[in-house]
A and B are shown apart, each in its own frame.
Chain A
Amino acid sequence: MLRPMASDDRRYFDEIQVGEAYESPGRTVTEADIVMFAGLSGDYNVLHTDAEFMKSSIFGERIAHGLLGLSIQSGLLTRGMRPYANIAFLGLRWKFKGPIKIGDTIRARAKVIGKKETSKSDRGIVTLSRQVLNQRGEVVQEGETDVMVARLQ
């Protein structure tokens, strides 16, 4: 049975500091991940599904969907930090810089780069910069995410 996260473990806008950094555990991306993600998303682009076609591409083999890498880092990072008292995920800006191949081990790194108060006194916006790294330390994805976090009342 799933155990709900203890709510008193969550961190509020007031206690989050600009400059704080987090690092996730690693995770090896497998062929099964790519097959399942194609099935879930419906994105059957040959880049991710046709091993023969991809032999003659610049990658030489199938690569993971960029959004699969993004989805994995999102989950991984929640395992590398205490949760925020999130109200909402507002948005993100994201760049895909290199391929994630079958067998690559990726991890996520993040840093608080901004805090912004809003017109409502019970919440604020926290901006994180994030990087997805492979086993060689190469940045394969990076971007910024904005979350609305509750303030201590």
Chain B
Amino acid sequence: MTGAPPEYFEDVVVGRVHQTPGLTLTRGHVIQFLGFGGAWDEAADDRRVPDLLPLCISSGLGFRLGPPLVVLALMGFEWQFLRPLYVGDTIRSRSSTVTKRSLREGGVIVEARDILDQSGEVTQSGRLTLFVAKRPAERA
């Protein structure tokens, strides 16, 4: 099986909203995440989810939506943490493209993204700047 064909810069529609399926945050996620940086003091509160973890997961949640956009690089982002998340909370990501700008080798898109909890409250929110591939030229 080869899955759906990927989407390219040309396919991105400004203003179209995507909402991902949910994912329940567990202690397992937290332990695995803290292992990357070795900040074990944060594990002292065993219910609190490290703030950066839902942001990291939100990137992966987008892969469960269907044809993936061919992202060549995450260039930067700005992000706000609005409410704490706890083990057992279920998050989903809601995003839309704010602007797109064509360059010779690809395109830059700015994506607005919110992370929602199970009651629909926005817990984290921000904007990400992505460098995206253009559709390859058709082979003759």
A→B interface (CB under 8 Å): 2, 4-5, 27, 33, 36-38, 40-45, 47, 65-68, 70-76, 78-79, 83, 88-96, 143
Contacts and interface: CB of A to CB of B under 8 A. Distances in A.
Interface residues of B, number: 40
Contacts of B134: none
B81 A40 contact: no
A72 B52 CA distance: 11
Contact of A94 (B71, B73, B77): B77
Interface stretch (B9-17, B53-61, B96-104, B110-118): B53-61
B44 A67 contact: no
A47 B63 CA distance: 14
A41 B59 contact: yes
Given A43-B59, A91-B126, A68 B36 contact: yes
Given A41-B57, A42-B60, A90-B81, A74 B74 contact: no
5 contacts: A33-B36, A67-B74, A71-B52, A76-B37, A79-B38
Contact of A2 (B32, B44, B77): B44
A47 B29 CA distance: 23
Nearest to B124: A91
Given A73-B37, A75-B36, A95-B76, 10 more contacts: A4-B41, A33-B36, A40-B33, A41-B57, A42-B64, A65-B56, A71-B53, A78-B39, A92-B78, A94-B78
Contacts of A143: 76
Given A4-B44, A5-B44, A41-B59, A89 B81 contact: yes
